[in-house]
Amino acid sequence: MNPVVCKPAVVFPEFEVSQDETVAFISEAFPTSDILPVALKMVRNTEVITRRLSRPLSEIATRSDFCARNTSYINKARALAVLAARQAMDNAGIKPSEVHMVIATSCTGFSMPSLTAMLINDLALSVNTQQLPIAQLGCSAGVAAINIAANHCRAYKNHNVLVVSAELCSYLYHPDDNLLASMVSASLFGDAVAATVVRGVSGRGFAIKKSHSIFLKDTENYIAYDIRDSGFYFRLDKEVMHSIKKVAPGIERFIHEHDDSFSGNKFYVVHTGGKRILDEVVNSLGLNETDIEHSRTSLALRGNLSSASVMDVLKRTFDGQKISPGQSGVMIAFGPGFTTEMSVGYWV
């Protein structure tokens, strides 16, 4: 029996923003910018129709210091994480006393003690619960955390691991950041907190057979933070768009080695990096559009949720009810480094 990733729970903040509102917001924020026409065209091409944000656009447009934003981030992330975690435990059919380890991923704010400690208190988890906070893996952290949880459950077969991904990307917006990539990023990322339980025994969902990491050397500049007194400034190098084809051979080799039905019908849970990233995944891996329909839908309705995105896609896979028991599957996410985190398994 392989560890099973149970049905995730995904919760969202209250402020919904449409693409039209985002276009108007950027137009008002940078009215004299020479790159505004290009930026707006690229925003339209993201195919992000709507997103949920933790703050209204009027507040986001107002300059605030890092301390105020980070304090708000901690309070919001904590509240949403408790809701997501409780739903995830209900989905998995376990009680808080049955959680042996909690992993929390987030790259959009900072706290010490970590969100893991807050969850132990707020959920009344055991005082013996192991903690693992993950901060710097960005979008790839969701799959990395699930894979670490699966490895833990493989070693301790009666254990359950709670994985929580809290990404409130709207707290990274800076009114003075007028770079083209920053304007596009401000229209791409959404806010959400997602949670799932990985079980060592029983459970319905994605059973993980094997996990794998691929690191592209000398690509630290592809996805990074420019850290200033006012906070984290997200930086994305255009070369990241060519990275998928570079890691595709390694992805295919891994699937071939650990999935006997590589050429057969399988499901894909792919992180919603953006339209261009998903296009590259389809082209580089030779997939059909139907293979990533849940990723496309998640991107359109929620934006890129960073480390929480794979859980939103996995939840949609559960709700789609098109997966048959025994059907093989692949989960993939990309992040800073440039790092690819993935796993192969089957539906149970």
Catalytic residues: 139
Q: How far apart are CA 268 and CA 197, in angstroms?
A: 19
Per-residue DSSP letters for 136-167? TTGGGHHHHHHHHHHHHHHHSTT-EEEEEEEE
CB 161, CB 153: distance < 8 Å: yes
**Which residues touch 160 (CB under 8 Å, ≥6 apart)?**
92, 94, 98, 99, 100, 101, 153, 197, 198, 199, 200
Phi, psi (degrees; rounded to nearest 5) at 295: -70, -40
Q: How far apart are CA 33 and CA 336, in angstroms?
A: 29
Phi, psi (degrees; rounded to nearest 5) at 203: 100, 150
Q: How far apart are CA 107 and CA 274, in angstroms?
A: 18
Whether the upstream peptide bond of residue 113 has omega within 30° of 0, thus cis, is yes
Q: With 0-12 CB in 10 A as exposed, 13-18 as middle and 19+ as buried, what is 31?
A: exposed
Q: Give the distance from CA 236 to its chain's centroid.
A: 16
Alpha helices in the chain (DSSP H): 19-29, 36-45, 57-60, 66-92, 115-122, 141-155, 180-188, 243-258, 275-285, 293-302, 309-320
The tokens describing 237, both together, are: 């190098």
Q: What does the DSSP 8-state code read for residue 54?
A: S
Q: How far apart are CA 59 and CA 13, in angstroms?
A: 14
Residue whose tokens read 């049905």? 7
Q: With 0-12 CB in 10 A as exposed, 13-18 as middle and 19+ as buried, what is 2?
A: middle
